Chains A and B, each alone.
Chain A
Amino acid sequence: MFGDARISRVPAKFTGTRAELFWRLVRGYLLMFPTLGLYRFWVTTVKRQFYWHNTSIDGDALEYTGTPLQLLIGFLIALAVFLPLYIVFFYLSTQVGAVVMVGYGIVATLFWFLFGYASYRGRDFRLSRTLWRGIRFDQKGNAWVYATRQFLWSLLVVVTAGLAYPFMSADLWRYRYSNTWYGDRQFSFTGSWRTIAGPFYRAYAVAAVSAVAVAIRFVASGPETAILLLLAIPVGFACFFYYRARESSRMFSEVHLGAARLRVEIKARALALQFAAYSGMLVVAFVIIGLVGFLVTLVIQGQFDFTSLAGIARAGWIGVALALGGYLVSLATLGLMAEVYLDCGYWMLVARGATITGLESLSTVRAGDEDKALAGEGLADALNVGSF
């Protein structure tokens, strides 16, 4: 199939469709009602099976071996971490003055720190449950070390008004990938801050200039302010898509696994199109929800008499039920659209834009030691760490 092994470039493939994911998620969301939300662990599993099993390299699909029960147990373990924090929260809510601000500050800092820990453990869980050609991936390294790095870097990024970001990004990518294993072979990351410095500072400069322009105009408050603001928003978005596409492409392309090398190319235009599709579908979905809600309200309003107190009370309860139902439907719609258009879209772009050179060298990889210590993602789930 590939004439010369030395120059073979094997593309990754993704065979899933948005519609398929959409219906899987709809079914999962509906089952979350009777199960009081516990079905979310099954939804996560089904979602990952969709992504993994539809992604293949050289005809061999990834396999996700995690189970919903592992996630459930992990969540219960994470509860143990949160109960004490919750008691601290309660104590703070009964206090007055400077203590409250300092206390909330400390708890928020702790949460931010735990967030880094949780995202690393979550990655560990996913990788150690990912099979390709019968061999598992694994995340080694220390989640506390990673959390500390991320925490300290993020302080520096805040202090430097974001200018230190490329350094943080490169350092964290390096830590993640140089501790990632496929069987007994270790990944490496050859990028540095220079890999993304160009796109980052370019996007940063453009965004900063337009923000300053708007700020100056705002002070002057001339009639052109609105026009300028309308111009600045698309410019901000363009900067974001440009940078995100470049970062993904360049950083992924610095990932090596022995002699094999990943190369990813994502276009900013494709990201922008996806976001446009997401926004458009969101508008459509909410117009539909609004119409249905309006009709339901009309039908119900006709059935209650508002002249007696009992009637008002009954109508009140129906109103509360409607408001709650509408709220949950809206929330589910937001989640659904973000998953189907943004997350799935990004996965498709990465998978379809990826090629691997030197794939043949992987045929000698042997299975690594088992990593059984992981019980679910617990903290990641509890902290709502966004990830596939």
Chain B
Amino acid sequence: MEMEPVGRYYDGLVAARRYVTFALTRDAAPAELIIADRDTREEIDRWPVDALFEVTGLGDELRLGATGRPYGARLRVPAGEWNTALREAIPGLGRRAQLERGQQRRVLGIAVAALASVIAAYVFGVPVLADSVTPLVPPTWETRLGEGARMQIEGMLSNGVGFQACGSEFSQANRAIDRFAASVMAETGSPFTPRVTVVRSPLTNAFALPGGQVYYFSGLLERTETADEFAGVLAHELGHVVHRHGMEMLIESSATGLLVGFVLGDMTNLSVAAAAGATLIDSRFSREAEHEADAFAGAAGNRLGFSPLALATLLERIAADNTMSRTLALLNTHPLTDERRAALEAFEVAPTTTRPAFSEAEWQAIKAMC
């Protein structure tokens, strides 16, 4: 052991370092830490042991400060036997550090609990919020939004060779589709005018935009075998339009972005992380929207005489086609689960009309339109 304890001392008033020696008084009450100049032996200060606190230092070095002394007043004792001896002699030091760590942990715990409850409130609350806010959004606003989305999407689908809608506006196929869409939308009280476009594209997909625009890709039409399947998909997509799911999703995903930004600490939301997280949370809502659209298609099938179960048959056929995309199937917009199939089965058709949704001639025209 060195002859005497040595440390570095800063008084917090002047930027000067002093090499000091120190000792504890035990006779005085309260006990004090006496700090004296190493060379002149002149006493510099006495720090009451009760006022000492430890500051995070480097490795095992002990850094002490004292309340009631200037902010930057420090005694630094390098790792070694005197360091250990001092820690043992002032047991309150360890306890105080422990208390502070405990306090930090509590605050962290409370903050995490608060954040978790915000997330929970969000997961359950935002769909309700979006549900009740959506009707307040003027339909004209939504139509305009849909119009903007339509231009973007048709630009993307054109692929440089021009956007290719199948069949002329007044072809038998398109007239049949328009009639069907109008009858699906009738009696729903929806403010939107449906507009269905069959597009030349290899993708097996169909989707709806806010404001009534629905796209059906020729890739999907090729895989569609019966008129009921076609009617089921169209009615499902029109269900999204009637329920204004596009608008709801917009409100929801804005709220999701805010939440994910908070969790990841990047409010600018520029990072991909935020986007990925938001997509995952959003997919939960999209599944609920799918159920609502299915229910709508089921009711329409009942009214207009087509089997909503055909929708499930078509989805199964497409799922069987493409093994690569299975792992990500749930991220797709049209996930098919047993639960969903059961729900569709429950809508088994009890036609109140003898006229089918599409006549045989109309269906053949539709099949051949691309």
For A38, the chain B residues whose CB sits under 8 A away are 108, 111-112, 115
- The stretch of B56-64, B163-171, B201-209, B233-241 in contact with A is B56-64
| Top 4 A-B residue pairs of the complex, sorted by shortest distance between their CB atoms | A134-B10, A96-B148, A319-B327, A134-B72
- The stretch of B44-52, B267-275, B361-369 in contact with A is B267-275
- How many positions in chain B have a CB within 8 Å of any CB in the partner chain? 65
- Cα(A365)–Cα(B147), bound, Å: 68
Contact A89 B56 (CB under 8 A): no
- Cα(A310)–Cα(B338), bound, Å: 6
**Residues 297-348 (chain A) with a chain B CB within 8 angstroms:** 306, 309-310, 312-313, 315-317, 319-320, 322-324, 327-328, 331
Does residue B337 face the partner (Cβ distance < 8 Å to A)? yes
For B327, the chain A residues whose CB sits under 8 A away are 315-316, 319-320, 322-323
Q: What string of 1s and 0s marks CB contacts (under 8 Å) between B328-355 and chain A?
A: 1111000111100100000000000000
Contact A316 B72 (CB under 8 A): no
- Cα(A323)–Cα(B327), bound, Å: 9
**Residues 1-21 (chain B) with a chain A CB within 8 angstroms:** 8, 10-17
Contact A86 B58 (CB under 8 A): no
Q: What string of 1s and 0s marks CB contacts (under 8 Å) between B243-260 and chain A?
A: 000000011001001100
Known: A319-B328, A384-B270. 4 other contacts (CB 8 A): A35-B111, A36-B116, A319-B330, A384-B265
- Cα(A49)–Cα(B63), bound, Å: 13
Known contacts A53-B56, A133-B15, A370-B71, A36 near B119 by CB under 8 Å: yes
Known contacts A37-B265, A53-B57, A383-B267, A363 near B14 by CB under 8 Å: yes
- Of B56, B261, B265, B341, the residue contacting A49 (CB under 8 A) is B56
Does residue A225 face the partner (Cβ distance < 8 Å to B)? no
For A96, the chain B residues whose CB sits under 8 A away are 144-145, 147-148
- Cα(A182)–Cα(B10), bound, Å: 15
- Cα(A343)–Cα(B13), bound, Å: 33
The A interface, classified by DSSP as helix, strand, loop or mixed, is helix
- Of B17, B104, B112, B276, the residue contacting A36 (CB under 8 A) is B112
- Cα(A331)–Cα(B276), bound, Å: 12
- Cα(A131)–Cα(B147), bound, Å: 60
Does residue B94 face the partner (Cβ distance < 8 Å to A)? no
Q: Which residues of B contact A (CB under 8 A)?
A: 8, 10-17, 55-58, 63, 70-74, 104, 107-108, 111-112, 115-116, 119, 137, 141, 144-145, 147-148, 250-251, 254, 257-258, 261-268, 270-271, 273, 276, 280, 316, 319, 323, 326-331, 335-338, 341
For B148, the chain A residues whose CB sits under 8 A away are 95-97, 100
- Cα(A24)–Cα(B119), bound, Å: 28
Contact A72 B111 (CB under 8 A): yes
Q: Distance (Å) between the CB of A80 and the closest chain B CB? A: 11
Contact A95 B57 (CB under 8 A): no
For A123, the chain B residues whose CB sits under 8 A away are none
Does residue A135 face the partner (Cβ distance < 8 Å to B)? yes
Closest to A132 in B: B15
Known contacts A316-B330, A319-B328, A35 near B13 by CB under 8 Å: no
- Cα(A335)–Cα(B13), bound, Å: 40
Q: Which residues of A contact B (CB under 8 A)?
A: 15, 34-40, 42, 49, 53-54, 58-61, 63, 65, 67-69, 72, 75, 78-79, 82-83, 86, 89-90, 93-97, 100, 111, 131-136, 182-183, 306, 309-310, 312-313, 315-317, 319-320, 322-324, 327-328, 331, 362-367, 370, 381-384
Q: List 7 A-B contacts (CB under 8 A).
A: A38-B112, A39-B108, A69-B104, A134-B12, A312-B329, A316-B328, A320-B280
For B55, the chain A residues whose CB sits under 8 A away are 63, 65
Q: Distance (Å) between the CB of B43 and the closest chain A CB? A: 18
Contact B73 A134 (CB under 8 A): yes
Q: Distance (Å) between the CB of B60 and the closest chain A CB? A: 12
Closest to A34 in B: B112
Known contacts A78-B267, A384-B266, A367 near B70 by CB under 8 Å: yes
For B273, the chain A residues whose CB sits under 8 A away are 327-328, 331
Contact A35 B15 (CB under 8 A): no
Q: Which of B147, B271, B327, B335 gathers most chain A CB within 10 Å?
A: B327
Q: Distance (Å) between the CB of B85 and the closest chain A CB? A: 22
